[in-house]
């Protein structure tokens, strides 16, 4: 008798905890997607529409990508990447989960996006300062706090001269601030970026353009960071 799959958010810690206990901060993503393919959990991060705060920002800024490049960090099944490509950007989208990349390609068989499996903590050297637009949505916060600074540096490193970085993420509950992962590896994800971490993204040559706390249009009572940074053109 087939069982109904468990909601992935309820099952998340059962994948994350053992991974962290083994010193592997990213391997659990692929195992979670694989469990969804097997029907054991619902499909994680599977929204079919681009993030509403990305869409709002793109419309407000009249974002256009003709002749420009973009990269979507932690792309999952590709909704944000497809939206960015639809604006005219030559778009790369990557995820540490090879299963997620396979699913993204299957979901978008006629895509112009280049979907790749890659680790944010070890990106290809040729991606350094290579993209006019870098989009990071809910990826940094999926990593333990002790990896936030390293991952943030890797995201900044993708931004080209005269390029833009867009970051969207959950706003932390002030009553339950971020803490490091316990020594026993017990899970406590997600770990939303603090205001100090959001401010620190404006470094290594990037300047903050706007840092806002905005309500989620489809989730009353929930807020998100939407932060935009720019790397000035190099003469």
Q: Which of 160, 112, 118 is nearest to 139 (CA)?
A: 118
The residue that leads in pLDDT, 234 or 79, is: 79
- DSSP secondary structure of 102-159: HHHHHH-TT--SEEEE--GGG--GGGTT-EEEEEEESSGGGS-GGGHHHHHHHHHHTE
Query: What are the tokens at 107?
Result: 């979901």
**Alpha-carbon gap, residue 179 to 46, rounded angstroms:** 28
pTM for this prediction = 0.92
Which of these CATH numbers, 3.30.1280.10, 3.60.20.10, 3.40.50.150, 3.40.50.620, describes 45-230?
3.40.50.150
Tell me which DSSP letter residue 42 carries. P
Q: Is residue 53 within 8 Å of 224, Cβ to Cβ?
A: yes
pLDDT at 188: 60
- Average pLDDT for residues 216-223, to the nearest whole number? 84
Q: How confident is the model at residue 190 (pLDDT cuts 50, 70, 90)?
A: confident
Please, how many CA atoms are within 13 Å of residue 171, restricted to the half-sphere of its CB?
14
Q: How confident is the model at residue 174 (pLDDT cuts 50, 70, 90)?
A: low
Q: Is residue 135 within 8 Å of 166, Cβ to Cβ?
A: yes
**Alpha-carbon gap, residue 170 to 217, rounded angstroms:** 14
Domain ranges for the chain: 45-230
How remote is the C-alpha of 7 from its chain's centroid?
20
pLDDT, one tens digit per residue, over 52-102 is 999 999 999 999 999 999 999 999 999 999 999 999 999 999 999 999 999
Which own/partner contact pairs does 91-97 have at CB distance under 8 Å and 24+ positions apart? 91/65, 92/116, 92/127, 92/131, 94/118, 94/120, 94/123, 95/29, 96/26, 96/29, 96/30, 96/120, 97/29, 97/30, 97/32, 97/33
Tell me which DSSP letter residue 15 carries. H
Q: Is residue 100 within 8 Å of 29, Cβ to Cβ?
A: yes
Q: Which of 145, 149, 138, 153 is nearest to 225 (CA)?
A: 138
Mean pLDDT score across all residues of the chain: 91
Q: Is residue 171 within 8 Å of 225, Cβ to Cβ?
A: yes
């Amino acid at each position: 008798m087939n069982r109904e799959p468990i909601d992935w958010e309820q099952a998340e810690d059962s994948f994350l905890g053992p991974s962290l206990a083994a010193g592997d901060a990213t391997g659990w993503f692929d195992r979670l997607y694989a469990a969804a393919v097997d029907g054991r959990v619902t499909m994680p991060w599977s929204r079919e529409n681009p993030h509403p705060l990305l869409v709002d920002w793109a419309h407000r800024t009249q974002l256009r990508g003709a002749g420009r490049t973009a990269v979507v960090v932690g792309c999952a099944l590709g909704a944000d990447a497809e939206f960015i490509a639809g604006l005219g950007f030559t778009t790369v989208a990557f995820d540490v989960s090879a299963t997620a990349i396979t699913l993204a390609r299957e979901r978008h068989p006629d895509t112009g996006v280049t979907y790749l499996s890659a680790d944010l903590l070890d990106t290809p050297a040729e991606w350094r300062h290579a993209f006019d637009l870098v989009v990071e949505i809910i990826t940094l916060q999926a990593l333990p706090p002790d990896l936030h600074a390293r991952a943030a540096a890797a995201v900044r490193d993708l931004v080209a001269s005269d390029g833009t970085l867009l970051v969207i993420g959950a706003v932390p509950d002030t009553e339950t601030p971020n803490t490091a992962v316990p020594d026993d590896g017990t899970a406590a994800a997600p770990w939303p970026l603090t205001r100090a971490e959001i401010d620190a993204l404006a470094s290594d040559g990037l300047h903050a353009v706007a840092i806002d706390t905005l309500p989620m249009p489809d989730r009353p009572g929930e807020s998100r960071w939407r932060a935009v940074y720019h790397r000035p053109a190099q003469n």
